Amino acid sequence: MKRLIVMVTAFAFVFGVGATSWAAEKTFATQKTKDVVVTLKSETGQWKQGKNDFALEFASAKDKQPVDVGKVTLNTSMTMSGMAPMIAGATLQPDKTPGRYLGTIEFSDTGARQVTVAWDGPAGKGSTKFSVPVR
Ligand SMILES: [Cu+2]
């Protein structure tokens, strides 16, 4: 029995590192619409200049249960004085559980981003905007 526990622990250690789910995720943005609650999470709990990994989750506004929203996009825009807005979009892929997506996004500088999340699927079509700082 002891040997089995050691093996399971070793397995979890080897395969836990580098996996797409994080040991502890921190929520860094949440936005409620009429139908859904959109949540942004990551291991660091923030977006930084450079490349970022994060998770995007959708839950029902009614009962907080995960909701499959189908096709999802996340785009960001930053207003710059005397310049065209800086635009960055996320690469998103569905995670193993419904309503959860894993994303990467790259920012070339710091500052507040206007984030637009849009979805189109079984739960209907919608979009929401909110602000997230890049530190
Ligand atoms: Cu900028």
| CB neighbour list of residue 101: distance below 8 Å, 6 or more residues apart | 55, 56, 57, 72, 92, 93, 94, 95
What integer pLDDT is reported at residue 17 of this predicted model?
44
Separation of CA 113 and ligand 1 centre (Å): 8
Spatial contact of 116 and 77, defined as CB atoms under 8 Å apart: yes
Separation of CA 83 and ligand 1 centre (Å): 9
Spatial contact of 68 and 118, defined as CB atoms under 8 Å apart: no
Question: E-assigned strands of 5-123?
Answer: 26-32, 36-42, 50-60, 71-78, 86-89, 91-94, 100-107, 111-121
pLDDT in tens, 45-89: 999 999 999 999 999 999 999 999 999 999 999 998 899 999 999
pLDDT in tens, 11-40: 455 444 444 556 689 999 999 999 999 999
Calculate what percentage of the chain has a pLDDT beyond 90: 79
pTM of the model: 0.82
Spell out the domains of the chain, with CATH numbers in brackets. 23-134 (2.60.40.3340)
